[in-house]
Chains A and B, each alone.
Chain A
Amino acid sequence: MTDDPLAGASTAATAATGAAQGSPPPAASIEARFAVDYAGFRLDVDLRLPGRGVTALFGHSGSGKTTLLRCVAGLESAARGRLVVNGECWQDDARGILVPTHRRALGYVFQEASLFPHLSVRRNLEFGLRRIAAAARRVQLEQAVALLGIEALLERMPERLSGGERQRVGMARALLTSPRILLMDEPLAALDHKRKQEILPYLERLHDELDIPVLYVSHSPDEVVRLADHVVMLGGGKVMAAGELHATMARLDLPTAFTEDAGVVVDGTVAAHDDHDHLTRLDFAGGAVWVQRQPVALGRRLRFRIHARDVSLADHRVEGTSILNLIEVTVTEVVGADSPAHVLVGLDAGGTALIARITRRSSAQLALRPGRRMWAQIKSVALLG
C-alpha cells in the first residue's frame, strides 16, 4: 500500500506548527496495552498512537471503543495493562503503577455532556480550572469560552441549555483543565443532525487551534473522515486496523463490516472556480475533481471522500459521458468485496489512492490486474466541510 504524499505533507505541516509553538518532541506518542474481561466481552488491544492530532477510535457498538477510552481515563477498574501518554506513565501493572483518574492530566467529554446540574455554566467551567495549579493553566477561561462560543451562556443553569450548548460547555470544561490529552466519547451521538452541524465547526477549531492530542470515539464514518488524522478500527474488542487516516481508509483488507462503506479520503486544494457552470476544481496529487461551486477562497484545503461505489472503471477515456470527473489510474490490487458479486479494486491516481467497487463480471471482462492502466469515472464526491 502506497502512502498518500498529501498525508505526509499534512503531517509535516502539523509538526512544523508544533515546533513553532515549542511543543513536545516528535517522539510524542501514546502507548496503550489493555486487557479487560467482562462476561461475554473481552477487550484486548496493544496500540501505539501518535501523540498529536485527532485519532479516531472507530467501530460499531460493542466493538470496545468506549471501553478503550475509559481505560485510558482510568475509569475501568478491571483493566489490566500499560499506558504511557507522551512520556507519562499512567498505568503499568508490571510495576504496580496505577495513577487514579483525578491525578491524570486528561480532559474527558462524555456522550451526554454530564454537566453538574447544581452548578451554573460558569461554575461548571471553573470546577476543573480551580483544581489545577495556576502555573499549569495553559487554557484561560475566556479563551475556552470564546473558542466554543458560549459567552452568552455563562450564568445559566445546565437544565436551561440545549443539547448542543451543553456539549459545547462540556468541551470547554474539559479543556479548562489544560489536559495533555483530550478524550471524547461520541460527543455528537446524542444530538440531531442540525446540532451536529452546529458543533462540528467548533471541533475543527479545537483541532486547528489547540495542540492537544485527541482520542475521539465514534461510530460515524462521516465524523471520522471529517475530523481525524489517524484512525483505529475496532471490532469485537480487537484492533482491526490502525494508522494514518488516508492510508487506512484506502486499505482493501479491512473486515467486511467496513468495506460496505469503503472509500478513500483525499485532501484537495481549491484550485479554480468556474462561475459560469457553478463549479469548483479541487486539485490533489495525481489529479483533480470538479465539485459544485464552494464558497471557499482559492488555495484553501478541502477534505473530501470518494466512495468506492461511486467509482467505475473503463479501459479508455470514455467520450460522450455525463460524468465530469475522469482520472487516469493504475490498478494496484483486486480483492473480494462484502458481496460475492463484487470486487474492490485498489487504484493509484499518480500518488493518491482510490478504490472502485465493481462487479466481479466487469472485473473479469476488463481483465483487471495490478499494473493495468485504466480510467476511473467518479460519479460523486462527498465534501467534508
Chain B
Amino acid sequence: MPSLTSADWSAVRLTLELAAVSTAILLLVGTPIAWWLARTGSRWKGVVGAVVALPLVLPPTVIGFYLLVAMGPDGLLGRLTAALGLGLLPFSFAGLVVGSVIYSLPFVVQPLANAFEAIGRRPLEVAATLRAGPVDTFFTVVLPLARPGFVTATILGFAHTVGEFGVVLMIGGNIPDKTRVVSVAIYDHVEALEYAQAHWLAGGMLAFSFVVLLVLYGRRRGNAGAGVG
C-alpha cells in the first residue's frame, strides 16, 4: 500500500508553515480588534463585527475571488505591494498568508472578544486604583485572565487555516512546494484517481481535526468547574 510521497510530505510541511505563520499574525491583528469590539460603545461596533464575521458565511470562492482581484496588478493591494517592491501576492506563499488571515479572522477574534467581555470592567478599574496604567493592565491583568480565550483562538485559528481549501485554490493555485497545501493535494489525488494517497492525507486531516476539537472541548469541560473566580 503506497504511503505518502515526498510531494505529499512537502504539502504537509507547507500546510503547517502556513497555519503557524497565519496564526501568529492572526493573534497580533485579532487581539486589538477583539479588544476594541469588547470595549467600545461606538456605533461602528456592529459594522466592524459584521465585517469580521463575513468569512463565516461567505463561500471561500467569493473571498478568494475578491482577494485575487485586489492583489492583482490592477488591484489596490497589488499596486501597493508592487510599489513596495514586493511583487504581486497571488500564487505566492505570502498571498496564502494574507488569504488565510482574512479567512480565519472570525475564529480568532470571536473567542478573544468573548474572553475580554467576560473579564468585565471591574478588574480594569481595580488595576487602575492600584496604579497600573492601561498598557500595564493589559499585560498583567487582561492577558492572564483571558488566557483560555487565547488558547481557544490559537487552536481554532490554526486548525481552520489547516482546513482551508477554496481561498487557497483561488489565490494560490497549485504550485508544488510553494502553494500546494494538503487540502489541494487531496483534491489532486482524487482527480487523478489516486484514492490510496487521498486516503492517507484525508485520514490524517480527519485525525488531526478530531484531536484538535477533542483537546478544545475536553479543556472546556475541565475548566467549567474552576469558574471565573
* Cβ of A73 under 8 Å from chain B: yes
- Chain B 92-131, CB-CB to A under 8 Å as 1, else 0, gives 0000000000000000000000000000001101111111
Instruction: Find residues 205-261 in chain A having any chain B CB closer than 8 Å to their own CB.
Output: none
B228 contacts across to A, CB distance below 8 A: 117
Query: Is the Cβ of A114 less than 8 Å from the Cβ of B123?
Result: yes
Closest to B133 in A: A102
Q: Is the interface of B mostly helix, strand, loop or mixed?
A: helix
Query: Is the Cβ of B125 less than 8 Å from the Cβ of A101?
Result: yes
Interface-facing stretch out of A28-36, A104-112, A276-284, A313-321: A104-112
Which of A107, A117, A157, A158 is in CB contact (< 8 Å) with B129?
A: A107
A173 contacts across to B, CB distance below 8 A: 130
Query: Is the Cβ of A102 less than 8 Å from the Cβ of B131?
Result: yes
Closest to B130 in A: A128
Which of B125, B133, B145 is in CB contact (< 8 Å) with A118?
A: B145
A55 contacts across to B, CB distance below 8 A: none
Q: Please, how many angstroms separate the alpha-carbon atoms of A102 and B127 in the complex?
A: 8
Q: Please, how many angstroms separate the alpha-carbon atoms of A106 and B127 in the complex?
A: 12
* Cβ of B141 under 8 Å from chain A: yes
* Cβ of A323 under 8 Å from chain B: no
* Cβ of B25 under 8 Å from chain A: no
Interface centre among B130, B141, B144 (most CB of A within 10 A): B130
A88 contacts across to B, CB distance below 8 A: none
Query: Is the Cβ of B123 less than 8 Å from the Cβ of A102?
Result: no
Instruction: Find residues 284-335 in chain A having any chain B CB closer than 8 Å to their own CB.
Output: none
* Cβ of B132 under 8 Å from chain A: yes
Query: Is the Cβ of B129 less than 8 Å from the Cβ of A116?
Result: no
B2 contacts across to A, CB distance below 8 A: none
* Cβ of B229 under 8 Å from chain A: yes
A103 contacts across to B, CB distance below 8 A: 131
Query: Is the Cβ of A100 less than 8 Å from the Cβ of B130?
Result: no
* Cβ of A75 under 8 Å from chain B: yes
Q: Please, how many angstroms separate the alpha-carbon atoms of A118 and B144 in the complex?
A: 7
Which of B129, B140, B227 is in CB contact (< 8 Å) with A101?
A: B129
- Given the known interface contacts A117-B229, A159-B229, the answer about A73 and B129 at a Cβ–Cβ threshold of 8 Å is yes
Which of A131, A157, A158, A159 is in CB contact (< 8 Å) with B130?
A: A131
Instruction: Find residues 83-126 in chain A having any chain B CB closer than 8 Å to their own CB.
Output: 100-103, 106-108, 110, 114, 116-118
Q: Please, how many angstroms separate the alpha-carbon atoms of A284 and B32 in the complex?
A: 64
B128 contacts across to A, CB distance below 8 A: 74-75, 100-102
* Cβ of A190 under 8 Å from chain B: no
Closest to B227 in A: A159
* Cβ of A174 under 8 Å from chain B: yes
* Cβ of A132 under 8 Å from chain B: yes
Closest to A179 in B: B129
Which B residues form the contact surface with A (CB < 8 A)?
Answer: 122-123, 125-134, 136-137, 140-141, 144-145, 227-229
A101-B125, A131-B131 known, 20 other contacts, Cβ within 8 Å? A74-B128, A100-B128, A101-B128, A102-B127, A102-B128, A102-B130, A102-B136, A108-B125, A108-B126, A110-B122, A114-B126, A116-B141, A116-B145, A117-B228, A117-B229, A118-B144, A127-B140, A128-B131, A174-B130, A177-B130
Contact sample, A vs B, 23 pairs, CB 8 Å cutoff: A101-B125, A101-B128, A102-B128, A102-B129, A102-B132, A108-B126, A108-B129, A110-B122, A110-B126, A114-B123, A114-B126, A117-B228, A117-B229, A118-B229, A128-B129, A131-B130, A131-B136, A157-B229, A159-B227, A159-B229, A173-B130, A177-B130, A183-B129
